[in-house]
Structure 1
Amino acid sequence: METTSREADQTADGPEPAFHGRRTLDDYARASFPWYGLDEAFTGPRWLMQVAAAADGVVQHGSLGHGDVPSIRSDAAATLRERFAVVVTLAASPVRRSGDGTGVLDATTVSSAAWLAGSGLLAHTWPPQLDHALRDDWLDQQTETAFVLADDLDGPEWSLLSLPVNGEPTPFHYRETDFGWVLAGSTSDTSGTSGTEGPPGVHLGAYGRGMSAYGLGFSVVPDVASYTAETPYV
């Protein structure tokens, strides 16, 4: 798959606490690409999550949350009552040298966004029949499955869904799981070569539970400071 390393992405976008306050906003502000979230049709809570950067400090991707703050619970009924959607923005990048000059980073693609979204959903999932000792093994297995599925977006596990991005119908790859849904797509001009006006292209991933993906729309976030860092990401 033309995606970033599974190990690096899992560390960067896994179940770790978000930074809080000014440090978080500064991290988002360092990105060279626009951040995306749910459009103005969503009127619920919005909250910051985390930003992933390369060794040289270049921001690669990050997440913004909407609705309830998801938590890992062994109580299936309580977990299913959560209503949230997380939007992952991933910089569209060609094959490039790593920040420390020691290797090459693969190009980012829609599959990369699908992988980040799939692993993000798993980070907030705990099947009620598992105890603490077994969850790590289950998570490793399911994370590997999510990677394989992200590498086969034309496969039978995925369907196509058209959703608005900045008001324009945009195709997304979509799949449902026992624990929520995952989708991935790209905004216009991810090559960065068209010269047209507007925000640079990015790859978008999203995952959620309790909120239907069919009614969602995405748009550029004009001010990331409108997302609160007061609610802890757990």
Structure 2
Amino acid sequence: METTSRVAAQGSTEDTPSTPEGVPAARRAVDGYLRAPFAWYGLDEAFSGPRWLMQVATAADGTVQHGSTGHGDEPSIRPDAADRSAADRERFAVVVSVPANPTRRSGDGTGVLEATSVSSAAWLAGSGLLSFTWPAQMDHVLRGEWLDQQTEAAWELADDLAGPDWTTLSLPVDGVATPFHYRESEFGWVLAGTAGGGVHLGAYGRGLSAYGLGFAVVRDITSYA
């Protein structure tokens, strides 16, 4: 599959809670987004709820590879049984922006960078949803195994967008009806498609219906900080 590597998706992030002394966390977060050479997407103006920054992922040379913007309630990370009912009430949608790139040479000329495709966006969205999901009553020993299994399943699903697990959903992107691949699970929903301007879009969420969403270029990413 032509897609961003699983290592990059899970671990190569620019933004962390810790920041150099004197640099506000919000400022550091938005700086990562401002360095991107591609447009960021989020929900369109019909969504009136809270908006927040998440993370950007970078290559070894510092190039921004992809990132996400959040909308609605900031979801609990890996909820345990004790707070599962609260997590089920969360209403959020996350939009993943991935620049469309063919296979290309790295900046220093020493290697080849992976291509990105709609499958890349689908994989990032699927794995992103898993990062905010834990089955209730699962002990700590089994969680790692569960996440490995579900992550592999998300990878395989993203590699088969024409398969029976996906349906087609048309949603507006900058006001233009755009086809998306869409699937639901017990954890939430995932969709992926291509926007104008050479950006693939992934999205995932819970509590908000995907059928009523629209996407648009974020004109001022600092408004999310």
Work out whether the TM-score is over 0.5. Answer: yes
Give the Cα–Cα distance (whole angstroms) in 2 for the partners of residues 139 and 158 of structure 1.
Answer: 21
Aligned-pair RMSD on alpha carbons?
1.8
Which structure has more RCO (C-alpha within 8 Å, separation ≥ 6)? 1
Amino acid at match of 1:208: G
For structure 2, the residue ranges without an aligned partner over 5 or more in a row are 20-24
Partner of 1:225: 222
- The alpha-carbon deviation at position 100 of structure 1 amounts to 5.1
Distance 1:18 1:134, change over 3 A: farther
- The alpha-carbon deviation at position 163 of structure 1 amounts to 0.2
Partner of 1:73: 79
Query: Which stretch of structure 1 is more off in the superposition, 173-182 or 23-32?
Result: 23-32
- The alpha-carbon deviation at position 102 of structure 1 amounts to 3.7
How many residue pairs get aligned? The number is 217
TM, length-normalised to structure 2? 0.91
Q: Report 1:90-101 matches (<5 A).
A: 90-99=98-107, 101=109
1:76-101 per-residue CA deviation (whole Å, 9 max, x = no partner) reads: 32211000000000011110123454
TM, length-normalised to structure 1? 0.88
Does 1:129 pair with 2:137?
Answer: yes
- The alpha-carbon deviation at position 74 of structure 1 amounts to 1.5
> Which of 24, 43, 49 is 1:44 aligned to?
49
Contact 1:35–1:89, Cα closer than 8 Å, also in 2: yes
Give the Cα–Cα distance (whole angstroms) in 1 for the partners of residues 18 and 71 of structure 2.
Answer: 15
Give the Cα–Cα distance (whole angstroms) in 1 for the partners of residues 156 and 18 of structure 2.
Answer: 27
Contact 1:52–1:61, Cα closer than 8 Å, also in 2: yes
Distance 1:201 1:99, change over 3 A: same
Amino acid at match of 1:74: D
> Which of 84, 101, 109 is 2:117 aligned to?
109
Contact 1:18–1:50, Cα closer than 8 Å, also in 2: no
Partner of 1:10: 10
Partner of 2:198: 201
Give the Cα–Cα distance (whole angstroms) in 1 for the partners of residues 87 and 108 of structure 2.
Answer: 41
Contact 2:54–2:69, Cα closer than 8 Å, also in 1: yes
Does 1:214 pair with 2:214?
Answer: no
Contact 1:4–1:105, Cα closer than 8 Å, also in 2: no
Percent identical among aligned pairs is: 70
